[in-house]
Structure 1
């Protein structure tokens, strides 16, 4: 995610949180791990379910810091790495990996978690997903009562059958909803990548008259639905579920949702690489993941964690077996390789 993840966060998949020019802290040894996080309520959840239990188990103190992707890159380029473990969207970690900034994840030395229990799509040499979230199709139940609501992105694009103001994501949110535009245009889920950018933008042009605004943060998308500025839109599932739990007349379909990943990476030049490796291992335990997944309303990546959740809890989370059948993983390799091209094309298109 890119903004303050659900929750009270999205965190999430490119964070725009401000960071100080330098991270003020006393000199430390192996008894402290500095973690980059999205900040806000996310830190409270992780403190309760991960950091404090880790400190009790190991004696290693965990200090959290909010830092933008630009700050992380600047640290590495200046040879002044002030962080150990990076908890961020996997797209940001892919950028750092491409620069040679990350250490391999020490799966062979895990002692709390079992690498074979981690979903294969998120278990990679230099990063490991610690939860999944999803972008879903949300709708207002008062505008679309009963079963008369959009059930696919083709329905979302059908303003005749399902009238009303809509929203979709802007490039500033991390990525625009090109995949949904192609699904609406008849492209099967398993043929979305490589994205046909021209076709996707032509599809976007057909729905653009109905788009009230392209949202750039999770907070804005939630506000627009909550205030009924729009009655349909793409939104991160955690942001939406928070509104639903507060009795907002909103709902969503899991059909054709896009699964996205929050992941862990370790700076290779970190002062406490070993402590960061241990914290990553600790965080990936099924019982630990089950705890923070319930609080964040996002999906665990340790398959064993789903066994510790109730059916109702599993139904609210992406990344499980049913989720993988009805949705698809965003291809961040394609986005990493094409982001600049998409940004240029989007900037031209949105100003037309």
Structure 2
């Protein structure tokens, strides 16, 4: 079975929940070696994975980890189709992508039964999906320039304010809906409560977007563009990825994050079917869910640790910049909803992105 385009279309969308694979990997994993190959991302993200997860894991187990800053999904899926071992053992992707691969028989289940029982009791159930282990979360939040709005009392404070061009005129920074759509935010601005968001009213979301479209200079595919627009003064208010904006705020950038109404979304590790080092991959995932490793990772990358027992190990200043700080009023992206059938042979994610290409660009 070749890797279809649908696999790659979901790269920017988080998804979760159980899937029914076309074939289940029931055979024993390969004997493996004293090695492990992990494919993830570079930059600050890769630095955090290396220092908080990989180096301590190598020191404790003696397993040599090869870290790749990019994933070759096509090569791995082609190898599995050919009955060969994929070039990577673990991949770091959004839950939707894990589920899509799993539905095609490309992933093996995570063996939570072999993990440390104390750690497993600490990790929330939603993070322990069959084919992907959530190890942390990022958020998309509203941010504003403190240069443009130096007085917090009169600054924008909600998604309602974000869409209120009369009260807060000027340009807005928004990410592209072609890879990671955010229809939740126009719905919140239109009066829908966080607890009533799903199932999303897509027609209502697109209608609300029309009210602001002319004030969006660019629907940015790269989230770095949005924080740069704020710093450069091209926009005064923007939606920002927490993993990009929190480090800037920590360094003193003139940006204020509004956590109220931010959307949490997950990052997962999955294991390829036929992975040479599948046993070591399971050991690695078990290791990185410990509170100590989670805290070390969160402190570097300023993302939400999935194990809440990591929070007491961090300073108050760091916790304040994490999406899942106790006083942040955020909501969890409904990963499963995006993968539900929307009719016409498309799921909700595909329906939104195709419509966005026509209506938002």
TM-score of Structure 1 vs Structure 2, range by shorter chain: 0.7 to 0.9
In 2, Cα distance between equivalents of 1:68 and 1:216: 20
Does the residue aligned with 1:240 lie in a helix, a strand or coil? helix
Tell me the residue number matched to 2:215. Answer: 210
- CA 1:266–1:229: 2 relative to 1, 3 Å: same
Tell me the residue number matched to 1:110. Answer: 115
Does the residue aligned with 1:318 lie in a helix, a strand or coil? coil
Is the 2:40–2:91 Cα contact (8 Å) retained in structure 1?
yes
Does the residue aligned with 2:108 lie in a helix, a strand or coil? coil
- CA 1:78–1:350: 2 relative to 1, 3 Å: farther
Tell me the residue number matched to 1:349. Answer: 359
Paired residues, number: 325
Q: Are 1:151 and 2:157 counterparts?
A: yes
Tell me the residue number matched to 1:170. Answer: 176
In 1, Cα distance between equivalents of 2:327 and 2:216: 30
In 1, Cα distance between equivalents of 2:150 and 2:79: 51
1:128 paired residue among 113, 128, 133: 133
Is the 1:130–1:301 Cα contact (8 Å) retained in structure 2?
yes
2:350 paired residue among 331, 340, 344: 340
* Cα shift readout 1:94-147 (whole Å, capped 9, x = no counterpart): 211222222221111113862110022322222111111100000011212222
Does the residue aligned with 1:322 lie in a helix, a strand or coil? coil
In 1, Cα distance between equivalents of 2:41 and 2:79: 17
Tell me the residue number matched to 1:64. Answer: 67
Tell me the residue number matched to 1:301. Answer: 306
1:263 CA displacement: 1.0
Q: Tell me which moved more, 255-264 or 79-88.
A: 79-88
* Cα shift readout 1:64-122 (whole Å, capped 9, x = no counterpart): 12115555545544544221112222222121122222222111111386211002232
In 2, Cα distance between equivalents of 1:60 and 1:182: 48
Structure 1: give runs of 5+ residues left out of the alignment.
Answer: 1-11, 16-27
In 2, Cα distance between equivalents of 1:279 and 1:179: 34
1:329 paired residue among 323, 329, 332: 332
* Cα shift readout 1:147-187 (whole Å, capped 9, x = no counterpart): 21111111110011111111111034x31221101111111
1:246 CA displacement: 3.1
